[in-house]
Amino acid sequence: MQNTDDIGRVLVIIPTYNERENIESIVARVRAAVPEAEILVADDNSPDGTGEIADRLAAADERVHVMHRAGKEGLGAAYIAGFHWGMEHGFDVLVEMDADGSHQPEELARLLSALGGADLVIGSRWVRGGTVENWPVNREVLSRGANIYARLMLGIPVRDSTGGYRVYRATTLQKIEIDGVASQGYCFQVDLTLRTVRAGLRVTEVPIRFVERTHGASKMSRAIMIEAFQRIAGWGAAYWLGRLTGRERH
């Protein structure tokens, strides 16, 4: 069991859209893995009733909370709303976690422990000790390639900048101006990583076991991949132009 007294109050933010098959299990696993932590389910008005299930869980457990959002606005918008909710309610540490079980709650204690020497901890698939299960070869090649592309284009020393299992200090989110983040999908994760590095803050990667979902549909789409490619290209052009002219820019 992880004692969170040394890092303050912890909020695990779990965005949902049509996750009725997964939400009860993931909430139960988080509560068992780190009992001191609280949970915020940020539901984008799921038509399958995920929000109603989350309400039932919250009614039975005072450490579970639910944010009902008007509709499906994307992963980035859901997390930013969750970050604001957490900071407004006095949480010191904000955790990103998928609802589908790909992020193992049982590994959360290790990520929280690593926060002692960092401002952002990323659960990484692509550092030594990290693993991916049940992914086809083309998906692994795509993810590895995207992270190499981001690392080279942006000049950031992070091997899994697209990873979505993360632990932020509230002070980190305040310093990187999250209200200026327009990215969605997996590009949102790269954007926040870049902002953290550019702010001179400490990023630590901890190896995790990533398991592809067994219930429900993946939210990955062609549009998400195109957005990431285009935004990283733009940020990269600004970065390298800044390096050449002596005026580094984000």
* Residue 223: per-residue pLDDT: 74
The mean pLDDT value of the chain amounts to 92
* Residue 23: per-residue pLDDT: 98
* Residue 247: per-residue pLDDT: 66
Q: Residue-wise pLDDT tens for the chain (250 aa)? A: 445 668 999 999 999 999 999 999 999 999 999 999 999 999 999 999 999 999 999 999 999 999 999 988 889 999 999 999 999 999 999 999 999 999 999 999 999 999 999 999 999 999 999 999 999 999 899 999 999 999 999 999 999 999 999 999 999 999 999 999 988 777 899 999 999 999 999 999 999 999 997 665 555 567 777 878 888 998 888 888 888 887 655 4
pLDDT (tens digit per residue) in 187-229? 899 999 999 999 999 999 999 999 997 665 555 567 777 878 8
* Residue 217: per-residue pLDDT: 59
Q: Are 97 and 167 in contact (CB under 8 A)?
A: no
Place of tokens 């709303």: 81
* Residue 225: per-residue pLDDT: 77
* Neighbouring residues of 59: CB distance < 8 A, sequence distance ≥ 6: none
In angstroms, what CA-CA distances link 217 with 15, 22, 220?
A: 14, 11, 9
First to last CA, the chain: 40
99: DSSP letter: S
Torsion of CA 25, 224, 239, 118, to 10 degrees: 0
pLDDT (tens digit per residue) in 147-157? 999 999 999 99
**What φ, ψ does residue 145 adopt, rounded to 5°?**
-65, -40
Q: Taking the domains of the chain in order of start, what are their residue ranges?
A: 10-245
**Tokens linked to 215:** 């219930």
Q: How far apart are CA 182 and CA 3, in angstroms?
A: 35
Distance of CA 166 to the CA centre of its chain: 5
Q: What is the pTM of this model?
A: 0.91
Domain spanning 10-245, CATH architecture? Alpha-Beta Complex (3.90)
* Residue 73: per-residue pLDDT: 85
* Residue 6: per-residue pLDDT: 85
* Residue 221: per-residue pLDDT: 64
- At residue 153, what is the residue type? M
Q: How far apart are CA 126 and CA 130, in angstroms?
A: 6
